[in-house]
Structure 1
């Protein structure tokens, strides 16, 4: 497997990474100063101040409706915890090729693997990234044995980061539920109880970012994503027909909703298309933690979000494993995958 992190810096973009002009990113985007909402979670909002908690929940829902993406600060995941795992992951990518080779695999059933480009390639062109895909929660002794033993900091830092982000995700789901008028525990159980997955995406400097993409335009297949993007911009989210650059905010984590949130809320909170662009100066690494339903979970619009007269159900009920199959068949295309589950009026 030919990894970008093993190669010497390229003087030009190899042909296999060059996209046709109509699929390339616009790197100098005039976004009229539009930025993602930044929600201050306030630890007080999580510890008994009902009025403050309600305001924070309303902010989250409003941000979700307006953008589908937002950033959170004062979220309770320590900067030392975030930095500890990011440093360990960076050390992993920097290891000699022979030490990383045992982890290279295209077998998606493995709980830890290293690969390049993407499993959703649409055509022959490759994306400018290497990535780790791994199962990260619940943290058990058996699971940890699948994680790399080198660098020595990797396993303990990943376990610490995974536990902290999982707790934050459950807090966010409770706030989303309350902000929508659902019971606080609505998303608990099977809806968020699947094995938590993590993508560590590694984008080396690219000699000509205008020719290629780091990651394809897509929507996430699961319920909720918590992203650490570090201090190098590269994530773009679609907003009112244009691509909005998600500018890093010190100490913030980026949150976005997946397809399952859109379906369960009957379209009130949408999954928003996003992609990654490259840069020529600095390596960028993002760490995405994906909160998943259980494979056997039955999913459909919540009855509380449906009104037969004014807001009928937009999606049929299904089992999450069926959605996963449709997602891969559709190569992560937002409209193609949702079309399989939409209810059309006669």
Structure 2
């Protein structure tokens, strides 16, 4: 039994139906079209430093990066290297299971997804597979590395969200109150080698629909973000975690913090893996701007997710926040 989903057969169908069904040059996943960049790198050890000046400066840099870039890197985040190594090993074993077993397995409460099976074109198709795991289901995997990672990365996400709220003069405990293990989740990603490189995305361009995302990626690279109208490569670094602002934080901050479009490119010969933590509220949570006049109307997280699903079904793509502008 094979472990890889039938990505190639689906991709080939799109190419056979219409030979022009390729990514345009400016949207191509080929990294030769993209610039390299170094995201803001912030040493968060200073958040726990007794020197108030360093502590204040660290918080300022986090808020500035969320405003200007929507993405930044943190170093000295406190997650030991051995935890990350064990987590990656456990992740590989999970994806090595036969494809049929991954499809039907539900004992862990996980949700297995691959390649956007409902995609209508190559532009909507992702050359990847993933497990979506609510935090409350992670312990059932008996995975010590993943357990330790999610516990620590959850604390990091909460701390970063507190800092971003404080910088706007708001209640710092807000996100701890509305985001829990029952609403937040992790996603384990695997991007197999792609013989159709650069005709397919590893993960299609998108913004994240949460408050904050914390990402740990391997050393292959492939993450790109849209900055000032250009796609740029995010260089991998095994010592950092990548933080990015999601749609909910942009709406709550009234556009002060930016939810930036990003994507993952394919690789013709090497496999890439990553793990992302998503800080999410309950579906009943109402999202509204912290100040007036608000750019966006009030909406619940459940309403937001439902609108995204409807848009993807009807248009093939996520529209997101523009649908909720006043």
Q: 1:39 aligns with which of 39, 42, 61?
A: 42
1:306-327 Cα deviation digits (max 9, x unpaired): 3xxxxx2101111111111112
Cα pair 2:184 2:280 within 8 Å, conserved: yes
1:258-303 Cα deviation digits (max 9, x unpaired): 1000000000001100111011121001111111011111111013
How much has 1:200 moved relative to structure 2?
Answer: 1.0
Cα pair 1:298 1:318 within 8 Å, conserved: yes
Q: Give the match for residue 127 of structure 1.
A: 126
Q: Quick check: 1:115 aligned with 2:118? A: no
Q: Give the match for residue 236 of structure 2.
A: 248
Q: Quick check: 1:281 aligned with 2:259? A: no
Q: Give the match for residue 15 of structure 1.
A: 12
Q: Give the match for residue 299 of structure 1.
A: 287
Structure having the higher helix fraction is 2
State the TM-score, normalized to the length of structure 2. Answer: 0.86
1:225-262 Cα deviation digits (max 9, x unpaired): 00011111111111000111111123111110110000
- Which aligned pairs between 1:72-151 and structure 2 lie closer than 5 A? 72-97=74-99, 99-103=101-105, 111-118=109-116, 121-123=119-121, 126-137=125-136, 144-145=139-140, 147=141
Q: Give the match for residue 58 of structure 1.
A: 60
Q: Closer, same or farther in 2 for the Cα pair 1:182/1:119, shift >3 Å?
A: farther
1:65-106 Cα deviation digits (max 9, x unpaired): 22111111111122211221111011121234465353289x
CA RMSD for the aligned pairs? 2.8
User: What is the alpha-carbon distance in structure 2 between the residues aligned to residue 203 and residue 73 of structure 1?
Assistant: 25
Q: Give the match for residue 151 of structure 1.
A: none
User: What is the alpha-carbon distance in structure 2 between the residues aligned to residue 97 and residue 21 of structure 1?
Assistant: 28
Q: 2:172 aligns with which of 180, 184, 201?
A: 184
User: What is the alpha-carbon distance in structure 1 between the residues aligned to residue 304 and residue 225 of structure 2?
Assistant: 23
User: What is the alpha-carbon distance in structure 2 between the residues aligned to residue 48 and residue 187 of structure 1?
Assistant: 25
Q: 1:202 aligns with which of 172, 190, 194?
A: 190
Q: Quick check: 1:217 aligned with 2:205? A: yes
How much has 1:127 moved relative to structure 2?
Answer: 1.9
Number of aligned pairs?
Answer: 315
Q: Give the match for residue 342 of structure 1.
A: 325
1:143-192 Cα deviation digits (max 9, x unpaired): 634x4xxxxxx522221111011111111112222333333324331156
Cα pair 1:40 1:56 within 8 Å, conserved: yes
Q: Give the match for residue 311 of structure 2.
A: 330
Q: Closer, same or farther in 2 for the Cα pair 1:54/1:183, shift >3 Å?
A: farther
Q: Closer, same or farther in 2 for the Cα pair 1:17/1:114, shift >3 Å?
A: farther
Q: 1:25 aligns with which of 22, 26, 29?
A: 29
Q: Give the match for residue 317 of structure 1.
A: 298
Q: Closer, same or farther in 2 for the Cα pair 1:16/1:251, shift >3 Å?
A: farther
Q: Please give the secondary structure, in 1, of the residue aligned with 2:57.
A: helix
How much has 1:111 moved relative to structure 2?
Answer: 3.2
Q: Which blocks of at least 5 consecutive residues in structure 2 are unaligned?
A: 16-20
User: What is the alpha-carbon distance in structure 1 between the residues aligned to residue 276 and residue 104 of structure 2?
Assistant: 23
Cα pair 1:203 1:214 within 8 Å, conserved: yes
